[in-house]
Chains A and B, each alone.
Chain A
Amino acid sequence: MASENADHAVWLRGIEKQFPGVIACAGADLRVRPGTIHALLGENGAGKTTMVNVLAGIYRPDAGEVWVNGQRRSFHSPADAIAAGVGMVYQEFRLVPTLTVAENIVLGSAPRLLRSTEIEERVAELSAAYGMAADPTRPVWQLSMGERQRVEILKSLWRNASVLVMDEPTAVLTPGEAAELGAALRAMAEGGRSVIYISHKLDQVVAFCDEATVLRQGKTVATVKDLQDVDLTSLAEMMVGSSEGGYVDRPPAVEAGPEVLSLQGVCALNDRGLPALTDINMTVHAGEIVGIVGVSGNGQKELAEVINGLRRPTEGRVTVKGRDVTGASPGDLYRMGVAYVPEDRLGVGLAPKMSVVDNAVVRSYRSQRQGMFLSISKCVKFCQSLVERFSVRVGRLNDPIAGLSGGNLQRLLLGRELAEQPSVLVAAQPSRGLDVQGVAAIQGHLVDQRAAGVGVLLISEDLDELLALSDRLIVMFEGRIMGEYGPDVTPRTILGSAMAGKAPK
């Protein structure tokens, strides 16, 4: 077997990994040749991070093989992976701000009995060799994001990593710094190392990388041998893909009802304080499903948060049923009829360690009171009614909700949000990671809500789902609306171009 794999720096073979409630990887493959920069592409939740965490020894796969430099490996800890030559550069840097560049680089693997000036010299040599300028004596807290990233890369090189994994490396960089990163990675590849490059920024992927592997729903759906042969549009299409079907079809359009949600000139910042939404104008009417199309990270999350009061817009107005609700709290918005199924089900929508009952009453605990106390019997009764109405399969209601499967978590969450008949429903990635039955159930509920006169804003990365369910499609790119399209009359290629940031003709 070894000879067959000798020409692979990394071979992840048939990786399967399941977390409570979600299947992260379902037999995904990744082969990386030495001396290449290999892009790992896919929507959020396609399994990219899980794959590289398996490679980095953080997760143990349920099934599958890990080969590094022609040898089969079984990592028990991140230290094993580092010893095998795998270097990880995470999106959030793991550096000690008060230590110097040199100290950070050698931390944990410093040669004993060596003076700090000597270490600094060696670090300086290393950074010169790869054209990554970094003053070894400066403390890390003084450095820019780009410089910190260089320190992270140098840290891996110091440990003699032959495979470097970069998770969304340009998210924190200025365009100039991103170009420098590209050059540095190229220098490393020419020196015989391999780079696994995870990014949603397809233009950079095409500019920096040689090959690509596309993951979708935990499986490898495409490998691209030469990225120069493909264009952005077809890459975007590969990521959102065309599935095997099984989507609920919406009944024919009913006449649009009154406007229930509108955004006028809304701007907002992301968690890093950079612009995430720019001049968003949109309306949602009662009885329609409006789909938000886009590669993830283009402002969808911030859009949902602004509408639900979890993020304050810096400019613009949000109105619900004609009332200005800009800056209202999440609780107030819910009482005004805005329900929200967040992308992060377990962690935002549901509290994983609390019981099924406690999670069922997240929206309604105030009305489950009897005198000054919460009535346990009322809470349980409410929870049971949700469980029955939305056919949630649960064990004991007092067990932590994290034990439920993904589909049942989502049924309970959706049911809870719909319990008090909202007029607006924002659903972010509502069917992601669910099995076929779960997808059908959730999509069925969305269509039912549309029929019941709810204005549904559906945020999804699954283009087929959006095409099947939406009455109108809005494409977002880099926090802006690229255009509005009718699902039945727009070819995928046009949507693909808009998703890649090309203005529609």
Chain B
Amino acid sequence: MIRPVLVRRDRVLPATQSFGFVVGILVALVLGAILLWVSGNSPAEVYERMFDSAFVGTDSLSRTLERTTPLALTGLSVAVAGSMGLWNIGAEGQMMAGATVATGVAMMADGLSGPALIAVMLASGVAGGMLLMLGPALARSHLGVSEIITTLMLVYVAIRVVEWLQVGPWKDPGSLGFPRIEEVPGQASLPGLFGRVNIGALIALGLLIVFSLAVSRTAWGYELRLAGSSPDTARYAGVSLRRKVLTALLLSGGIAGLAGTIQLTGAEVRLTPGLSNGFGFSGIIVAALALMRPSGVAVVAFVFGAVQVGGQSIQTLGVSSAISDILQAMILFGALVAAVFFNYRIRWTGPLGESSGEEIEQLEPAVEEPDV
């Protein structure tokens, strides 16, 4: 009996991945067209509106870039940890922690001038994100506790802390009883570039370039990749795994904290429990689609942002918000599925004894390395 078997590719080339990404989105758009047609909308009209509102004109582009900025930063945060094989699932929480510390610092340092205050807030935002990551990072590097669980759990801690602050110690006395925190001082707003885009976008772009070079072109990045790809080889080469795990996770937390602070000082006016707005979780998808490469994160975050902006805009055409959400989810899902699918290829195998020397991907983790 000849049957198909999925075989994992030895190596996923960025070109293959990009192709898969595009194919996935196209397939999803076709399926989405059916969905729109069935739900009584005109697919052509809806898609045209989506495209226009995401890409055409300064205002549209600025909306897309406004979304792209936090997605790129959280995507980078996840990718920095991911390039060492670590999963920071809690960028959402580190965003909140960064914004919280930055708000606290702004409250204490109200005498500072604009640029100085912004710089101090951004730096303290990085520190806040690192602070929330400190526990998971130490637990992972010294005790081997899974960072996936600890970083995720701290998301809810960070959000609850903000909820407590807004009804408790940081409650705005001038809020007429509303539970909310005072606005950050006006001079702390990030300078705008055009439309809704502020210099946060440039900071994100700069960081992407810096990390892209650091990971691929420096000795530090080489050690990081070696440790992520083959920990025993890294140890053999004299790399301290503990220190590498610690730095990768702390940097990841710091970048997410910066993302939160840029949201606080750019897009928002005050710290709220909803500030992180799912950007931290979306960052996981962004990084995964970008194969944990900082260079890929920029592109994926841009597409992701465009889908969100376009998806929301079609509600003005009378497309219900539920259909719009489904459509957005389908596009991202299509890209994800295609990306995974392009990691594999189909091989037709005959009965036992006729297969080639390649190993079949086992679904069970019971596969042992050969003792050869």
A residues sitting closer than 8 Å to B (CB atoms) are 18-20, 22, 24, 44-45, 47-50, 53, 58-66, 74-75, 77-78, 90, 94, 308, 310, 329-332, 334, 340, 342, 344, 347-354, 358, 361-363, 365-366, 369, 372-374, 376, 399-400, 402-403, 432-433
Cβ of B175 within 8 Å of any chain A Cβ, yes or no, is no
> Which residue in chain A gives the minimum CB-CB distance to B351?
A74
Taking a contact as CB atoms closer than 8 A, the residue among A49, A60, A353 that contacts B229 in the complex is A353
**Are the C-beta atoms of B219 and A350 separated by less than 8 Å?**
no
Task: Determine the chain B residues whose CB is within 8 A of the CB of A349 once the complex forms.
Answer: 233, 236
**Are the C-beta atoms of A58 and B366 separated by less than 8 Å?**
yes
Cβ of B177 within 8 Å of any chain A Cβ, yes or no, is no
Q: Mark B200-239, 1 if CB is under 8 A from A, else 0.
A: 0000000000000100011100110110011011111111
Cβ of B360 within 8 Å of any chain A Cβ, yes or no, is yes
Cα A452 to Cα B359 in complex, Å, equals 42
**Are the C-beta atoms of A45 and B225 separated by less than 8 Å?**
no
**Are the C-beta atoms of A19 and B11 separated by less than 8 Å?**
no
Number of A-B contacts (CB under 8 A): 124
Taking a contact as CB atoms closer than 8 A, the residue among A45, A77, A331, A366 that contacts B372 in the complex is A45
**Are the C-beta atoms of B371 and A49 separated by less than 8 Å?**
yes
Cβ of B169 within 8 Å of any chain A Cβ, yes or no, is no
Nearest Cβ in chain A — how far from B40, in angstroms? Answer: 46
Cβ of B57 within 8 Å of any chain A Cβ, yes or no, is no
Interchain Cβ contacts under 8 Å between A and B, 11 examples: A19-B357, A64-B353, A308-B236, A351-B233, A351-B234, A354-B225, A358-B222, A358-B226, A365-B219, A374-B219, A376-B217
Cα A19 to Cα B359 in complex, Å, equals 8
**Are the C-beta atoms of A351 and B230 separated by less than 8 Å?**
yes
B residues sitting closer than 8 Å to A (CB atoms) are 10-11, 213, 217-219, 222-223, 225-226, 229-230, 232-240, 351-353, 355-357, 359-360, 362, 364, 366-372
**Are the C-beta atoms of A373 and B372 separated by less than 8 Å?**
no
**Are the C-beta atoms of A366 and B219 separated by less than 8 Å?**
yes
**Are the C-beta atoms of A354 and B226 separated by less than 8 Å?**
yes
Which of B225, B235, B353 has most chain A Cβ within 10 Å? B353
Nearest Cβ in chain A — how far from B66, in angstroms? Answer: 33
**Are the C-beta atoms of B368 and A348 separated by less than 8 Å?**
no
**Are the C-beta atoms of B360 and A330 separated by less than 8 Å?**
no
Cα A66 to Cα B368 in complex, Å, equals 19
> Which residue in chain A gives the minimum CB-CB distance to B233?
A351
**Are the C-beta atoms of A348 and B236 separated by less than 8 Å?**
yes
Task: Determine the chain A residues whose CB is within 8 A of the CB of B235 once the complex forms.
Answer: 310, 330
Task: Determine the chain B residues whose CB is within 8 A of the CB of A59 once the complex forms.
Answer: 359, 370
Cα A61 to Cα B366 in complex, Å, equals 17
Taking a contact as CB atoms closer than 8 A, the residue among B11, B237, B357 that contacts A331 in the complex is B237
Task: Determine the chain B residues whose CB is within 8 A of the CB of A350 once the complex forms.
Answer: 230, 233
**Are the C-beta atoms of B352 and A74 separated by less than 8 Å?**
yes
> Which residue in chain A gives the minimum CB-CB distance to B352?
A74
Cα A323 to Cα B366 in complex, Å, equals 45
**Are the C-beta atoms of B219 and A340 separated by less than 8 Å?**
no
CB contact under 8 A between A50 and B372, given known A331-B237, A334-B238, A340-B236: yes
Nearest Cβ in chain A — how far from B17, in angstroms? Answer: 15
> Which residue in chain B gives the minimum CB-CB distance to A351?
B230
**Are the C-beta atoms of A347 and B230 separated by less than 8 Å?**
yes
CB contact under 8 A between A45 and B371, given known A60-B352, A349-B233, A358-B222: yes
**Are the C-beta atoms of A62 and B353 separated by less than 8 Å?**
yes
**Are the C-beta atoms of A348 and B367 separated by less than 8 Å?**
no
**Are the C-beta atoms of B236 and A329 separated by less than 8 Å?**
no
> Which residue in chain A gives the minimum CB-CB distance to B217?
A373
Task: Determine the chain B residues whose CB is within 8 A of the CB of A373 once the complex forms.
Answer: 213, 217-218
Nearest Cβ in chain A — how far from B257, in angstroms? Answer: 25
Taking a contact as CB atoms closer than 8 A, the residue among B239, B362, B371 that contacts A44 in the complex is B371
Nearest Cβ in chain A — how far from B255, in angstroms? Answer: 20
Task: Determine the chain B residues whose CB is within 8 A of the CB of A58 once the complex forms.
Answer: 362, 366-368
- Other A-B pairs beyond A331-B239, A348-B232, 13, CB < 8 Å: A18-B357, A45-B372, A49-B370, A61-B352, A74-B351, A329-B238, A340-B236, A347-B233, A353-B11, A374-B217, A376-B217, A402-B10, A432-B372
CB contact under 8 A between A330 and B238, given known A58-B368, A366-B219: yes
Cα A278 to Cα B240 in complex, Å, equals 28
Cα A106 to Cα B229 in complex, Å, equals 37
Taking a contact as CB atoms closer than 8 A, the residue among A45, A90, A369 that contacts B219 in the complex is A369
> Which residue in chain B gives the minimum CB-CB distance to A72?
B352
Which of B219, B234, B351 has most chain A Cβ within 10 Å? B219
**Are the C-beta atoms of A77 and B222 separated by less than 8 Å?**
no
**Are the C-beta atoms of B217 and A353 separated by less than 8 Å?**
no
Nearest Cβ in chain A — how far from B295, in angstroms? Answer: 15
**Are the C-beta atoms of A365 and B222 separated by less than 8 Å?**
yes
Task: Determine the chain B residues whose CB is within 8 A of the CB of A63 once the complex forms.
Answer: 353
